[in-house]
């Protein structure tokens, strides 16, 4: 067992200005991580030589101290943090702050954008703001990545999206949605058809040599069905609780952001090193992952962890 995760995500808040119907986060509300709490988390990750750190949410740019957090890690960690954002809350001042931070070190940024056209259940009302954010970054010479969640409602629009930005984007990450209790009805009703999948596959085969396009979830119709019925297909060989950890705004250490019930410990009570060696983490690591593929199994694991907590 490694002594600490290789990569970690710090969730600065669960608040988000968008309401995407496929999102694993059912709340979109709650407070922000405190500055002292963030510094404590960052120090723990850096002291344990965590290789890659991401700042996420919710929407991380909603945090009023976001840039202080970014600078704290960028000045101390192995590499600047990755920013996972929808970009629609950023104004020109925010863009300039990002540009300033890209002058001496690489700016690693992934922007969520599912379509250039309004799509039911996705980030419709803020598409123009997200596109304007991307255009501003590109104008200053920054090449962000784009993350796109695929459903039957937007899969036909992916070629238009790629053609709009072309090689100005570092990479296009296409992802199949994951099914949770609060997203099941939406995801099952918007599953891509075989014809849609084949159409996108043909397009990507044509342009793959021109653009960096990665796919999580596969293009085969049966694979997409497996994703939608069971969970995180892209997490085959899952890193949750092994080489990956997530810290939420309350400083809970989670095996994965999409299973917030799997709490390994809390950094207010224990160090990351202690959490990574405790019985809860060992128990998670003994399971057949990814647990999000099997909701019944996940519930059994949650019950076991609750009993561990009760007998502490």
Question: What DSSP designation does 58 have?
Answer: S
User: Is the pLDDT assigned to residue 49 strictly greater than 80?
Assistant: yes
pLDDT tens digit string along 247-257?
Answer: 999 999 998 88
Quick one: tokens of 161? 């999206």
Please, is 52 exposed, middle or buried when counting C-beta atoms within 10 Å of its C-beta (0-12, 13-18, 19+)? middle
H helix intervals, the chain: 35-47, 66-74, 92-101, 127-139, 158-165, 184-189, 194-207, 221-230, 272-276, 279-285, 295-310
Angle, CA 114 vertex, CA 160 and CA 32 arms, to 5°: 150
Which residues, in sequence order, are bridge partners of residue 113?
Answer: none
pLDDT tens digit string along 189-242?
Answer: 999 999 998 999 899 999 988 989 887 754 444 444 443 333 444 445 577 778
Pairing of β 52-56 and β 252-254: unpaired
pLDDT tens digit string along 13-45?
Answer: 999 988 888 888 777 677 899 999 999 999 999
User: Is the pLDDT assigned to residue 121 strictly greater than 90?
Assistant: no
Residue 165 to residue 50: CA distance in whole angstroms: 33
Helix and strand tally (H, E) in the chain? 11, 10
pLDDT given at position 294:
60
Residues of the chain with pLDDT > 90: what percent? 56
Residues of the chain with pLDDT > 70: what percent? 85
Residues 174-200 have a mean pLDDT of: 86
Largest CA distance in the chain: 58
User: Is the pLDDT assigned to residue 54 strictly greater than 80?
Assistant: yes
Pairing of β 82-85 and β 244-247: unpaired
Contacts with 14 (C-beta within 8 Å, 6 or more apart), sequence order: 25, 27, 28, 29, 30, 57, 58, 248, 249
Contacts with 189 (C-beta within 8 Å, 6 or more apart), sequence order: none
pLDDT given at position 157:
94
Contacts with 283 (C-beta within 8 Å, 6 or more apart), sequence order: 301, 304, 305, 308
Angle, CA 133 vertex, CA 164 and CA 85 arms, to 5°: 105
pLDDT given at position 295:
58
pLDDT tens digit string along 76-110?
Answer: 999 999 999 999 999 999 999 999 999 989 999 99
Question: What DSSP designation does 90 have?
Answer: -
Mean pLDDT of the chain: 85
């Amino acid at each position: 067992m490694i002594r600490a995760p290789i990569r970690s995500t710090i969730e600065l808040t669960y608040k988000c200005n968008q309401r995407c119907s496929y999102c694993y986060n059912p709340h979109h509300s709650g407070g922000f991580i405190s500055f002292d709490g963030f510094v404590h988390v960052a120090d723990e990750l850096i002291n344990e030589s965590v290789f890659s750190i991401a700042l996420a949410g919710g929407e991380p740019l909603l945090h009023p101290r976001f840039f202080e957090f970014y600078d704290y890690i960028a000045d101390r960690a192995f590499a600047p943090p990755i920013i996972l954002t929808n970009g629609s809350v950023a104004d020109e001042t925010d863009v300039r702050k990002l540009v300033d931070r890209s002058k001496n070190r690489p700016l690693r940024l992934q922007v969520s954008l599912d379509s250039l056209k309004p799509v039911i259940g996705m980030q419709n009302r803020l598409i123009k703001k997200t596109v304007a954010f991307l255009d501003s970054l590109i104008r200053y010479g920054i090449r962000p990545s784009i993350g796109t969640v695929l459903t039957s409602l937007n899969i036909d629009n992916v070629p238009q999206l790629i053609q709009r930005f072309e090689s100005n984007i570092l990479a296009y990450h296409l992802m199949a949605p994951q099914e949770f209790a609060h997203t099941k009805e939406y995801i099952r009703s918007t599953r891509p058809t075989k014809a849609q999948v084949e159409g996108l596959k043909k397009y990507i085969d044509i342009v793959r040599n021109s653009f960096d396009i990665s796919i999580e979830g596969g293009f085969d119709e049966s694979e997409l069905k497996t994703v939608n019925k069971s969970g995180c297909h892209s997490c085959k060989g899952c890193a949750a609780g092994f080489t990956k950890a997530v810290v939420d705004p309350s400083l809970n250490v989670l095996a994965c952001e999409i299973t917030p019930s799997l709490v390994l410990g809390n950094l207010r009570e224990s160090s990351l090193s202690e959490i990574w060696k405790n019985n809860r983490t060992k128990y998670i690591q003994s399971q057949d992952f990814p647990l999000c593929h099997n909701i019944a199994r996940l519930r059994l694991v949650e019950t076991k962890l609750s009993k561990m907590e009760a007998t502490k």
